[in-house]
Amino acid sequence: MVLGTIPAWGDQVLLCRRAIEPRLGMWTLPAGFMEVGESTAHGAMRETMEEAGARVELGPLFSVLDVPHVDQVHLFYLATLRDLDFAAGPESLEVRLFHEHEIPWSAIAFRTIVATLRFYFHDRRQGLMSLHTGDIREVQLPHESHSQLDQPR
């Protein structure tokens, strides 16, 4: 399992630029592999602190995306930044807040991140956050049409 958060500050989200492979130099939400003996919520908060140095108030589970071709499931929780005191961890080159129109969509590291961000901003515009599930094979690449990604599940 890969666990992470969507750390928000107002209408911005915190993204990390990867300092490691795969996808070195590309942007992602703070996330990483679950460790033995931890809950999904604890793992998501731990990864957010490790990669972005960010303290968050954890919200509800937001997306669960199956990635069968690599035997993974990616879970992302909504989260609110407690403050603006964040900094890149050892696996990040930099971290910064982005408004939706500033997100470097062509430089997002993974399709699960693109899907989760699209679902997040869609729900924000609708004023109602809901749980999104899916299979990554159903999610289109960033350079393709985003119409499917804009539809909540």
Reference 113, options 121, 101, 125; nearest CA is: 121
Task: Give Cβ neighbours of residue 43 (< 8 Å, ≥ 6 apart).
Answer: 1, 3, 32, 34, 35
Q: Is residue 143 part of a domain?
A: no
Give the global pTM: 0.89
Q: Provide the pLDDT for residue 137.
A: 78
- How many Å from the N-terminal Cα to the C-terminal Cα in the chain? 21
Q: Is residue 48 part of a domain?
A: yes
pLDDT computed for residue 138 by the predictor: 56
**At 129, is the secondary structure helix, strand, or coil?**
coil
Q: CATH no. for residue 59?
A: 3.90.79.10
Full pLDDT tens readout for the chain, 153 residues: 999 999 999 999 999 999 999 999 999 999 999 999 999 999 999 999 999 999 999 999 999 999 998 999 999 999 999 999 999 999 999 999 999 999 999 999 999 999 999 999 999 999 999 999 999 875 544 344 443 443 333
Q: Is 153 within a domain?
A: no
| 144 within some domain | no
Residue 146 falls inside a structural domain: no
Please give the structure tokens belonging to residue 2.
Answer: 């890969």
At 136, the amino acid letter reads: I
Domain membership of residue 109 as a residue range:
2-138
Domain assignment present for 8: yes
Q: How many domains does the chain have?
A: 1
147 inside domain: no
Q: Residue 134: exposed, middle, or buried by beta-carbon count in 10 A (0-12, 13-18, 19+)?
A: middle
Place of tokens 């108030």: 57
Q: Is residue 149 part of a domain?
A: no
What does the longest C-alpha to C-alpha distance in the chain come to? 40
